[in-house]
Amino acid sequence: MSILDPQTLLAGMGPWALGGLSLMIFVESGLLFPFLPGDSLLVTAGLLHQSLGLSVAIIALCAFLAAAAGDQVGFFLGHRFGRRWFRPDARVLKTAHLEQAEAFFERHGGAALVLGRFVPVVRTFVPLAAGTSGYPYRRFVVWNLTGAFLWAVGMTVLGSLLGGLPFVADHIDLLAVGLVVVSVLPIVVTALRRSHAARAEERATATTRGEEAAGDRS
């Protein structure tokens, strides 16, 4: 089973599919591991709910509770430990990931806890950024529950609605691949932008040094 193949992953879990889905949503939301297919997992679960022997309501409820609980953990980790676990060269807990979430949180405030739910990587670290910044806990809870509800219910219901379309029902494997691509696309775009910005900065620095050297020689 591969985490990048939500259809095979859910089918392979058998009777443990609901528990496995809930665990993965919780881990992605609160344990600082952003590379799980949250969006595609929920949509695929909604698509396959009948074959999994689960109702859409049960999937959405469990995903909502797992997402809300995960954000709680993320907030308290940020409040307790802040940035001290992060390193620029870390494999997972990169300083850049936290800085991205902090910038997102600074732009959108509490609403970032709702908006960030729909952005891979950002949804993992925004609760941490809220805790690190000392955001009021009562306000955090309101935004946390709102974002978790809209995301979990919205993605699951979307999957169930798509499952009613004949073409989608007959090509679930292709849809699963497409969902994974769409989920990781923001990560790829962000990485490319940063790489481009870094190269541009290096070229600008090299040009400035060359001009300074030429000035010294003259």
Residue 70: name the closest of 116, 104, 103 by CA. 116
Backbone phi, then psi, for 90, in 5-degree steps? -70, 155
Q: Which domain holds residue 150?
A: 6-187
Of 122-131, 168-177, 205-214, minimum mean pLDDT range: 168-177
Instruction: Give the sign of the dihedral formed by CA 19, CA 25, CA 29, CA 33.
Output: positive
Summarize pLDDT for 90-144 with one digit per residue, the tens.
Answer: 666 677 777 777 777 778 777 888 888 887 777 888 888 888 877 889 989 999 9
In a domain, 37, yes or no: yes
In a domain, 92, yes or no: yes
Alpha carbon 107 to its chain's center: 18
Of residues 119 and 75, more confidence is placed in 75
Calculate ∠ Cα 177-89-120, nearest 5°.
30
On whether the CB atoms of residues 122 and 104 are closer than 8 A, the answer is yes
pLDDT bracket for residue 212 (50, 70, 90) = low
Residue 11 tokens, joined: 């089918």
Is the pLDDT reported for residue 180 higher than 60? no
Whole-number average pLDDT of the chain: 78
In a domain, 166, yes or no: yes
Summarize pLDDT for 16-54 with one digit per residue, the tens.
Answer: 989 989 998 998 888 777 667 778 888 888 888 888 889
pLDDT bracket for residue 10 (50, 70, 90) = confident
Of residues 217 and 47, more confidence is placed in 47
* Whole-prediction pTM: 0.71
Of residues 169 and 101, more confidence is placed in 101
What is the number of structural domains in the chain?
1
In a domain, 1, yes or no: no
In a domain, 211, yes or no: no
In a domain, 117, yes or no: yes
In a domain, 49, yes or no: yes
In a domain, 205, yes or no: no
